[in-house]
Amino acid sequence: MPTAEIQNLVDNASKLITLPQVAIRVNEIANDPESTSDDMAAVLTQDPALVVRMLKIANSAYYGLSAEIETITRAVSVLGTNKIRDLVLSSSANDTFEGIPNNLISMHDFWHHSLYCGILAQILAKKSKKAHGESIFIAGLLHDIGQLLMFNQRPEKSHEAILLLMEGDEELESFEVERQIFGFDHMQVGAALVESWKLPPVLKECIEFHHEPDKAKQFPAEVALINIANSVAVMADFDSINEDDEIPQINPASWSLTGLSKEDLPAAIIAAQSEIKEVEAVLFPEK
């Protein structure tokens, strides 16, 4: 259970940010074992602009489908209700969080990092024999959303944490600094938020433990994928990735949990770099 202060952050955020009604209904349908693809399609057609955006991403190189998807009914049939839910959440993410502005980071940089993490995690999921790719993309996209709540509602402490991270021990990670300053971290805040939205447990756990995958209970392999992808994405933010680079801050347990190795990264990085511009243009066209 979240601490009182974490719950307060989430409660305050709910006054500023809400999932679109379509996203809420889509999530309910995806969670209902008795729902049908027709139920999902009927809800989606209520938002034509969202349908257009989703069809664009479904037909992008990211999914690599052999035949073009021309209707939302076909998209639901081919991709399934869970993947459609992820697409809706992804398409709604930027708009949803516009309500919590902050002066500490660039929102463009935040979403670029998050998107890169999601794309890379999805690519690595295809290589992993232990992790399931379901919802991995949206888990990567939302893994740092707790930071946005902390930056918006606790800007002074957040600024203090950023300075301490920049000036302090190079081995110290962001969540460790947050625990020193706040008594909790962005992983806990983000997990509490998605739990309040009744999103799938795999998303909650990927967010809650993406820096500490060895603590995951239900979905350790999926959490470990986000851990690896996030660390690589941090380097991508500084345009510093090459084959000779040491990827920092990957939890050693992530390799055994996913069945992956460092040798799997170069090809995955190249693939992610080739896809991100197209996916970013579709999901965040104004960016």
User: What are the DSSP calls for 71-92, one per residue?
Assistant: SHHHHHHHH-HHHHHHHHHHHH
pLDDT of residue 1: 43
pLDDT of residue 18: 80
Residues 142, 93 contacting (CB under 8 angstroms): yes
pLDDT of residue 151: 93
Q: Are residues 163 and 242 in the same domain?
A: yes
pLDDT of residue 138: 93
CATH number at residue 9: 1.10.3210.10
pLDDT of residue 261: 94
Q: Is 133 exposed, middle or buried (0-12, 13-18, 19+ CB in 10 A)?
A: middle
pLDDT in tens, 99-149: 787 888 888 889 999 999 999 999 999 999 898 888 899 999 999 999 999
Domain end (from 73, 92, 111): 92
Q: Are residues 143 and 272 in the same domain?
A: yes
Q: Are residues 117 and 82 in the same domain?
A: no
Q: Are residues 152 and 120 in the same domain?
A: yes
Q: Which segments of the chain have a pLDDT < 70?
A: 1-2, 61-64, 169-170, 237-248, 286-287
Q: Are residues 116 and 84 in the same domain?
A: no
pLDDT of residue 239: 54
Q: Are residues 41 and 168 in the same domain?
A: no
Tokens of 167: 């000036």
Q: Are residues 65 and 207 in the same domain?
A: no
Q: Are residues 162 and 106 in the same domain?
A: yes
Q: Are residues 113 and 224 in the same domain?
A: yes
Domain end (from 62, 92, 122): 92
Q: Are residues 268 and 185 in the same domain?
A: yes
Q: Are residues 32 and 109 in the same domain?
A: no
> How many structural domains compose the chain?
2
Placement of tokens 């971290």 in the chain: 185
Q: Maximum distance among all alpha carbons in the chain?
A: 55
Domain end (from 92, 117, 144): 92
Residue 181, domain extent: 4-17+100-283
Q: Are residues 126 and 211 in the same domain?
A: yes
